[in-house]
Amino acid sequence: MGSRQETYAISAKTQQVVDDYANYVAGGFAPYPVALTRTIKAKAWDVDGKEYIDFLSMYAVVNMGHSHPKILAASVEAMKEGAIVNLPFHNPTYGKLAKKLHQMFGYDKFVALTSGGEAVDAAVKIARKWGYQTKEIPDGKCHILTAAACYHGVTISTVSLASKKSNYFGPFVPQVGSTSPSGKVVAFGVIEDLREALEVDGENIAAFMIEPMQGAAGMITPPQGYLKEVEALCKKHNVLFICDEIQCGLGRAGSDLFHLREDVRPDMVVLGKALSGGMCALSGVMGDNRTLGLLDNFEIGSTFAATPVGCAAAIAALDVLVDEKLSDRANELGSLLISTLEAAKLPHVTGFSGAGLFWSIIFEPKPPKVTPRRIVSLLAQRGVLVSAAGLNRGSDQTENEINISDLELLHHFSTSTYLTMSNVPAEQHIWQTTLIRLGLQHKFLLRGILGLSALHLGHLAHLESSPSSIDYMVKASTHQNIGLGDFRKALETIDASTFDAILAFSCVIPIHSIAVASGSAYQPANPDQDILSSFLSSLSLFRSVNSLLLPSLDIYTSSTISPLLQITTQKLPEPSTFPGMDSLERLEIACTNFSTSTTSFQNHLQRNIFSSAIATLRSTFATTVDTTSIDRFTIGAVLIWTISVSDEYFVQLSRGHPSALAILAHYAVLLHRHDDVWWLQGLGFSLVEKICAELGDEWAEVVRWPRMAVGL
């Protein structure tokens, strides 16, 4: 018998609920087609009476279990007495809850809010007030630093804290997020990133806020000792340390609060989700008098925060957490869960990440049917409720998100023999990690990266006479077109880190093109298509992106890049027009035609630089390269040479966007590694040498490997 094909069909009752959502509900978090009507302990039932076991705990809201009898009883009793006593009056239960939290965790004060996003927003407000009043940061300079890939909510202020932002909601709240004022991106768990950011910008940073264990990113735990080092650095630079324990706290990750695992004491702690045991929306911030004591009347509060019902439920939930030793229980069950899964040796599983009873299963990205969202649906069919997180959690949602084939392209970009520096520790792949990280933050960059990878695979597929060559070329074109559209939409909200990414990416594309061409005797799929025209097509995204920036970036309008880009848009004379003429001669004709037809190329310095580049290349070709192979190198070499001889370009780039220049140094090593073409080696060496000299001592560590690679 053949293997049974599993599908996930939903009932008519569930379909009606799904249809109601589709027709009348806006926003949300793309719920799975499971319509629950009843829950108790770790079980749930849907509209058809089907039973499920809840492995999700409603996103860590019911750590104590659904409808825990003690929490339910306390809530019902409070409801009978009076469901709402709010802002104008004193609610005795609120005072009892604040005192309870003080007794458990030692903080002087607690302020209650409703949602986790509200609580995070409150923590930011408190930190800013502390920054101005206590630290005496100059007015308007206060910065709240977070970690990359963080999740703190979806309000306009909490989204601003994240490294990945959606289009169409800008401008975002300024001076918050994972990029420091000077442009340093702080990765979660990388203490050196934080150290560098605080050493440069510490005087204007009021607080560093992190999830001590990242949830939405995929249950990511930091290296042992990281939180302790964060605490020490924050104290050294007089920066508040804030822990967002909304999802990982209150027993979920094997400790009453996750940061207690390392015996650290943040200046403020944000609570939510499980605080009321799932009975009411309740969140809040704990802190000492030096922070929360700064609050005046009418500065922070919420109409439905700290209701008698919510506070009574929270007091009971905290009692359950302690009395039933739920943190210890989470560690025991978590160990059992992971040991069982490991012993099962599940296919397509590459590992596990998490702590306590807060875990993720990591799947390999290649099998097209093994996506997190598909697995979630199949598990729901079998009565197990889980969810997807991390990079792939939206992989099956819409065609505009990253799909499995695109992940393969991203993997190819990371591991391509043309792009990977062999025998180099991963932490030194500054170009790779920065571009991919920024690419995932900005759709148009991601599309460009995916387009490049598809283009590269198309070249390789053609060499192997593979039919997939055309498919890859089509995908490359699609990604470039979509990426350009996304870029136009993003222009109005672009920030400094995005500028860096654009500049670095612009440098990468021509270098990648020459690396692809020089690495093999590539010929175009259409024999009648000139190879130089193929190169120009591969630079289309490069030209288009920069053409949008040219009017607004002085760095481009005054450099040799601008006229060179305009030259590449000119139609080259066909080979048949001038029999025996090589590509370099035809490029010279295009340059001449262009320079006489427009005034933008009349700058004497730019004209001389380009002429010098062509003359040098012609001299090199005349003695070392057969004219039949010139087409492999011409356009990429001219681009690289033009950049490398422009001192003005480097000075402006190093002053305004040094990280882009640092990334370019790593790519220059690619040129240096062409053993069979000595002039490419020379270009790579001179490019690295010039970049290292321009960046200065503060970038020495970043460019240490390129220096070693070329023998500087």
Cα 210 to Cα 123: distance, rounded to the nearest angstrom: 12
Question: Within its chain, how far is the Cα of 516 from the centroid?
Answer: 27
Residue 397 or 165, more confident: 165
pLDDT band at 416 (very low <50, low <70, confident <90, very high): very low
Is there a single domain that holds both residue 432 and residue 518?
A: yes
Within-domain flag for 45 = no
Within-domain flag for 594 = yes
Helix or strand (DSSP H, E) at 243: strand 240-244
pLDDT band at 101 (very low <50, low <70, confident <90, very high): very high
pLDDT at 356 over 90: yes
Cα 684 to Cα 706: distance, rounded to the nearest angstrom: 10
Mean pLDDT of the chain: 72
The string of pLDDT tens digits covering residues 224-277 is 999 999 999 999 999 999 999 999 999 999 999 999 999 999 999 999 999 999
Share of residues in the chain with pLDDT > 90 (%) = 34
Within-domain flag for 662 = yes
Name the residue among 224, 223, 236, 280 with its Cα closest to residue 79.
Answer: 280
Is there a single domain that holds both residue 450 and residue 538?
A: yes
pLDDT at 102 over 80: yes
DSSP code of residue 242: E
Is there a single domain that holds both residue 296 and residue 432?
A: no
pLDDT at 95 over 70: yes
Within-domain flag for 382 = no
Residue 201 or 507, more confident: 201
The string of pLDDT tens digits covering residues 561-611 is 344 444 434 444 444 444 444 545 555 555 555 444 444 433 443 444 445
What mean pLDDT comes out for the span 185-207?
Answer: 94
Top-ranked range on mean pLDDT: pick from 145-154, 582-591, 607-616, 659-668: 145-154
DSSP code of residue 352: E
Q: Rounded to the nearest 10 degrees, what angle do helices 540-549 and 496-518 cross at?
A: 150
Number of domains in the chain: 2
Per DSSP, the three-state class of 285 is strand
- Assigned token pair, 69: 């009898």
Residue 362 or 129, more confident: 129
Is there a single domain that holds both residue 311 and residue 411?
A: no
Is there a single domain that holds both residue 580 and residue 669?
A: yes
Among candidate residues 326, 346, 374, the one where a domain is terminated: 326
- Assigned token pair, 586: 């035809």
Among candidate residues 326, 345, 375, the one where a domain is terminated: 326
Within-domain flag for 644 = yes
Question: Within its chain, how far is the Cα of 417 from the centroid?
Answer: 24
On the CB side of 351, how many CA atoms lie within 13 Å of its CA?
A: 6
Share of residues in the chain with pLDDT > 70 (%) = 55
Is there a single domain that holds both residue 318 and residue 414?
A: no
List the single range of 32-41, 160-169, 586-595 with lowest mean pLDDT: 586-595
Residue 625 or 397, more confident: 625
List the single range of 197-206, 346-355, 439-448 with lowest mean pLDDT: 439-448
Cα 31 to Cα 8: distance, rounded to the nearest angstrom: 15
Whole-number pLDDT of residue 544:
42
The string of pLDDT tens digits covering residues 449-461 is 565 566 556 555 5
Whole-number pLDDT of residue 120:
97
Whole-number pLDDT of residue 648:
52
What mean pLDDT comes out for the span 208-217?
Answer: 94
Is there a single domain that holds both residue 431 and residue 303?
A: no
Whole-number pLDDT of residue 633:
37
The string of pLDDT tens digits covering residues 530-560 is 333 433 443 443 444 344 333 333 333 333 3
Is there a single domain that holds both residue 315 and residue 447?
A: no
Whole-number pLDDT of residue 161:
84
Helix or strand (DSSP H, E) at 349: strand 349-355
Give the structural domain span for 214: 82-326
**SS3 annotation, 137-184:** CCCCCCEEECCCCCCCCCCHHHHHHCCCCCCCCCCCCCCEECECCCCC
Is there a single domain that holds both residue 608 and residue 487?
A: yes
What mean pLDDT comes out for the span 417-429?
Answer: 36
Residue 72 or 578, more confident: 72
Whole-number pLDDT of residue 569:
40
Is there a single domain that holds both residue 410 and residue 505?
A: yes
Residues in the chain: 712
Is there a single domain that holds both residue 159 and residue 299?
A: yes
Within-domain flag for 36 = no
Cα 183 to Cα 186: distance, rounded to the nearest angstrom: 9
What mean pLDDT comes out for the span 441-445?
Answer: 54
Any idea what the Cα angle at residue 105 is, between residues 100 and 106, rounded to 5°? 90
The string of pLDDT tens digits covering residues 270-326 is 999 999 999 999 999 999 999 999 999 999 988 889 999 999 999 999 999 999 999
* Positive or negative: CA dihedral 121, 127, 130, 132: negative
Per DSSP, the three-state class of 337 is helix
Biggest distance spanned by C-alpha atoms of the chain:
97
pLDDT at 109 over 90: yes
Among candidate residues 273, 297, 326, the one where a domain is terminated: 326
Instruction: Examine residue 171 and say whether the peptide bond preceding it is cis (omega within 30 degrees of 0).
Output: yes
pLDDT at 158 over 90: no
List the single range of 326-335, 424-433, 516-525 with lowest mean pLDDT: 516-525
Q: How do 51-54 and 268-271 pair as beta strands?
A: unpaired
Is there a single domain that holds both residue 601 and residue 701?
A: yes
Name every residue whose Cβ is closer than 8 Å to that of residue 197 and which is 6 or more positions away in sequence.
145, 180, 182, 184, 186, 205
Whole-number pLDDT of residue 461:
59
DSSP secondary structure string, 537-571? Answer: HHTHHHHHHHHHHTTT-HHHHTSSHHHHHHHHTSP
Within-domain flag for 549 = yes
Burial of 110 (0-12, 13-18, 19+ CB in 10 A): buried
pLDDT band at 160 (very low <50, low <70, confident <90, very high): confident
Name the residue among 658, 655, 654, 682 with its Cα closest to residue 668.
Answer: 682
Within-domain flag for 374 = no
Helix or strand (DSSP H, E) at 230: helix 226-236
Cα 555 to Cα 660: distance, rounded to the nearest angstrom: 13
The enclosing domain of 177 has a CATH number of: 3.40.640.10
- Assigned token pair, 566: 């305009």
The string of pLDDT tens digits covering residues 387-407 is 888 744 433 222 223 333 555
Top-ranked range on mean pLDDT: pick from 334-343, 475-484, 487-496, 537-546: 334-343
Name the residue among 637, 420, 624, 625 with its Cα closest to residue 517.
Answer: 637
